[in-house]
Chains A and B, each alone.
Chain A
Amino acid sequence: MSQNTENFESLRHLLSLKRHEQPPPGYFNNFSSQVIARIKLGEVGEERAIPGRVIWEPPWLQRILAAFETKPILAGGFAVAVCGLLITGIIYSEKSDVQPVALIPVTESVSSPVEVANATAVMTAANHPLLAKPAALDASSTSPITAEGPLLGGLRAEPASFTFPGGN
């Protein structure tokens, strides 16, 4: 024990070196004024920041952010989870087959173009507020429909050709 004590004595001499470590000259002249300035700044900033803090920095969010700061593994895990969700979402959206929904039901009983035109006109007129008054349109009074193929199945572009009787 006496040897220990003796050694501690020498250690204590060595530790006295720490008392000679001093910050740069004049360091403490401005220390308190810096503290006071930061307190004043904090008070002003606090008054201004209260509404913003309530919205953007709720306590639970601050706790989470603090946890992320202290434990980087948490932040990493969270990032991995978010990325996983994103990738899963993309894959799911690409794989799922979306069935096209027909906006206007086509019945098989409607076969001829004129009947189709009639049916369309009736439906359009019934749905459209401005055309709601006439209950039905007469097929003969409308402009002639000369489209080839099924009208509602999709529009098809046909090359137009014009022949003039005495033309060149």
Chain B
Amino acid sequence: MIMTEPASRKAFRPPDEPPADPVATPVPVEEMELVKRARKGDLTAYDDLVRRYQERIYATIYHMTSNHEDANDLAQEAFIKAFQALRSFKGGSSFYTWVYRIAVNKTINFLKQRKNKAQMSLDDLDFNAEHDPDLVALISEKTPRREVGLAELQEKLNIAMQKLSEPHRLVVTLHDVQGLSHEEIAKIMDCNIGTVRSRLFYARQQLQAYLSDYLQ
């Protein structure tokens, strides 16, 4: 199936916008203070900053790579690079957006290098997955492949994600998995909101085609 991005895609809006991301709200004073202290070399302050964002940064990289070990290395390196570059942080955006940008650039560079040797090392599903109403509804009698288990679904989903180009995968990860707003994604990816929307639409179309056997 050959899919092209529709000409009118810029007008596309997803039916339900995820809740606004916390980073869109004004940066708390405490965070600014931590950044100032970290910039002076205070590692305790930087430790606090890392703890705040480690899970989100790790998750984004993990969903981009589908590999736990790579995500671990890249997330650590992103925070280390952010610390080394703190002096260049002007405070124009929130620290979170800035770190996110570093992590995303690092991940995309890494993915370009590894290209032909992609190997998945997936994290386990947590206990709540079996009780998630969205997933329960998905693995119902309406699903074409009823016999499929969550683990297999997880693998197929990750394979399909890896087939997307990096920018498309990133947009799906940030919006549909991480729940970031279009505006925030545009800041992180350094592009306009229209581009984010069009990439999201196209990426969803592609994923839908790859996973048609598993969708209602």
Do these two chains interact?
yes
Judging by beta carbons under 8 Å apart, are A9 and B79 in contact? no
Which residues of chain A from 6 to 37 have a CB within 8 Å of any chain B CB? 7-24, 28, 31-36
A17 near B135 (CB under 8 angstroms)? yes
Query: Cα distance A163–B97 when bound, in Å?
Result: 108
Query: B18-50: contact bitstring with A at CB < 8 Å (1 yes, 0 no)?
Result: 000000000000000000000000010011001
A to B contact number (C-beta, < 8 Å): 115
User: Do residues A11 and B122 form an inter-chain contact, with CB atoms below 8 A?
Assistant: no
Tell me whether A93 is interfacial, beta carbon within 8 Å.
Answer: no
**B154 at the binding interface (Cβ < 8 Å):** yes
Q: Mark B50-71, 1 if CB is under 8 A from A, else 0.
A: 1100110010001100001000
Given contacts A35-B76, A38-B76, contact A11 B135 (CB under 8 A): no
CB-based contact A11/B215 at 8 Å: yes
Assess whether B153 is in contact with A8, with CB atoms less than 8 Å apart: no
Q: A11-B215, A21-B122 are in contact. Are A39 and B138 (CB under 8 A)?
A: no
Confirm or deny: B177 has a beta carbon within 8 angstroms of a beta carbon on chain A.
yes
- A42:B80 contact, CB within 8 angstroms: yes
Count residues on chain A whose CB falls below 8 Å from chain B CBs: 33
The count of chain B contact residues (Cβ–Cβ below 8 Å) is 50
**In the docked arrangement, what's the CA distance between A7 and B138, Å?**
12
- In the complex where A10-B215, A17-B125, A21-B154 touch, is A36 in contact with B46 (Cβ < 8 A)? yes
Residues from chain B with a CB closer than 8 A to the CB of A16 are 132, 134-135, 177
CB pair A8–B208 under 8 Å, yes or no, is yes
Say yes or no: B176 contacts A23, CB within 8 Å.
Answer: no
Pick the contact of B124: A21, A33, A39, A40 (CB < 8 A): A21
Complex: how many Å from CA A17 to CA B79?
27
Q: Determine whether the beta carbon of B51 is less than 8 Å from that of A17.
A: no
Asked whether B123 is an interface residue with its Cβ less than 8 Å from the other chain, the reply is yes
- A168 CB-CB contact with B under 8 Å: no
Q: A12-B176, A20-B132 are in contact. Are A7 and B215 (CB under 8 A)?
A: yes
Task: Give the interface of B toward A (CB within 8 A).
Answer: 14-15, 43, 46-47, 50-51, 54-55, 58, 62-63, 68, 72, 75-76, 79-80, 83-84, 113, 122-126, 128-129, 132, 134-135, 137-138, 150, 153-154, 157, 161, 172-173, 176-177, 204-205, 207-208, 211, 214-216
The 6 lowest CB-CB distance pairs between A and B, nearest first, are A20-B129, A13-B134, A32-B50, A21-B123, A15-B176, A16-B134
Q: Can you pick out 22 interface pairs between chain A and chain B where the beta carbons lie within 8 Å of each other?
A: A5-B15, A7-B215, A10-B215, A11-B176, A11-B207, A14-B153, A16-B177, A17-B125, A17-B129, A18-B161, A20-B129, A22-B123, A23-B58, A31-B50, A31-B75, A35-B76, A36-B43, A36-B46, A36-B47, A36-B50, A39-B43, A39-B83
Given contacts A16-B132, A18-B63, 17 further A-B contacts (CB under 8 A): A12-B176, A13-B138, A14-B153, A17-B135, A17-B154, A20-B125, A20-B128, A20-B129, A21-B63, A22-B123, A22-B124, A23-B62, A23-B72, A28-B54, A32-B50, A32-B51, A36-B43
